[in-house]
Amino acid sequence: MTDSKKKVNEQVDVNKNETIADNTNVLESYEIALGETKLPVRIIDIEDYVSHYQILLPDVDFVTRALLDETKRDLVSEIQFESLSLLTPDKFKEMKIKFLTKAKEKLKRVLSKESENSIAMLSRVLVNEMVGLGDIEYLLADSMLEEIVVNSSKDVVWAYHKRYGWLKTNIQISDEEMIRNYSSRVAREVGREITHMNPLLDAHLATGDRINATLFPISTSGNTITIRRFSRTPWTMVHMIDPAFGTISEEAAAFLWLAIEYEMSMLVSGGTASGKTSMLNALMPFMPANQRIISIEDTRELNLPDFLHWVPLTTRPPNPRGEGGFQC
């Protein structure tokens, strides 16, 4: 084995010496899982204006980074790419799994003495960088987070926690170009583009999460990304009428059920983050299964049960030449 490979083997254990800074006021600690990769998380109070979200990230040194970059080039040459704009969420998931499997095979050959955990961790880093959103992918794996915000490369990534509200994370995007690359990657996935001529993007990830992005100079402090993470288990009307939440009474829910069954017109309106989409998703199972449902959205947010006869559509803005637009 060459000296460089020996050095990689000595330094590649990403969990070996990495610790989260000690703090006596730990509000909560738990673990998140992204595939085979598990990362510890702590919510701490360090007497800042807000609490902090600290996640133990993989520590990749410069020797390991060189190895990962070489593996990236090999993967790109071996795996046949499809146009990201033509990939369905299932196809996109299959492609990520394919990348992950190939990455593990290559890294195992080079780092034969490394543990399965280290190989899985480095493989996940590769996939996140190549077809994901980098370290933001770890935040998306946390079911306790509802919103993830990148304000610029000069600021840390912020996250909205279900229990603790807005938190500062220990993740920071390296530069503005990287934020722009993430935005462009998402835009290509949904057949859109974000440029200086069209600096606003409103789209959804393959996971169904909604994403909004802006570019400098529209956002004067730098490029931004906002991801609203939707629950992987959508709320139903049972949750809505639960007294613990107090969203709607049983009588009002029964009235809306009858209104839908007898095909009455209905308007669901409200302010930002007031629960419009959650209410619509909770009402959708009341739709008769023998009816055809057509939905048209600016950004896909509805998630109907599989038994319904549903055709989901989305609007599309025209390109810079004014062509290809579809509006409802």
- Options 3.30.930.10, 3.30.450.370, 3.30.980.10, 1.10.150.120; CATH of 159-228: 3.30.450.370
In the chain, list all ranges with CATH 3.30.450.370. Answer: 159-228
Q: Given this model, what pLDDT does residue 277 score?
A: 85
Q: Given this model, what pLDDT does residue 316 score?
A: 73
Q: Using the Cα atoms of residue 123, residue 128, residue 129 and residue 134 in order, give the sign of their dihedral.
A: negative
Q: How many CB atoms lie within 10 A of CB 106?
A: 20
First to last CA, the chain: 63
In the chain, list all ranges with CATH 3.40.50.300. Answer: 237-314
Provide the token pair at 249: 């009474």
**Fold topology of 237-314:** Rossmann fold (3.40.50)
Contact 313, 296 (CB under 8 A): yes
Strand partners, 42: 29, 54
Q: Render each residue's pLDDT in the chain as its tens digit; 328 residues.
A: 444 444 444 334 434 334 444 545 899 999 998 888 889 999 999 888 899 999 998 888 788 888 888 888 887 777 665 555 445 666 777 777 888 888 888 888 887 777 788 888 888 888 888 888 889 999 999 999 999 999 999 999 999 999 999 999 999 998 999 999 999 888 887 777 888 888 998 888 877 788 999 999 899 999 999 999 887 777 889 988 988 888 899 999 999 999 999 989 999 998 877 888 888 889 988 988 888 989 888 877 788 888 888 888 888 777 666 666 666 6
Q: Given this model, what pLDDT does residue 3 score?
A: 47
Whole-angstrom distance, CA of residue 207 vs CA of residue 316? 20
Q: Given this model, what pLDDT does residue 244 score?
A: 85
Q: Given this model, what pLDDT does residue 150 score?
A: 96
Per DSSP, which regions of 122-239 are E strands? 145-150, 158-161, 165-169, 200-204, 210-214, 224-228
Q: At what angle do helices 62-78 and 89-110 cross, to 10 degrees?
A: 130
Q: At what angle do helices 89-110 and 116-131 cross, to 10 degrees?
A: 130
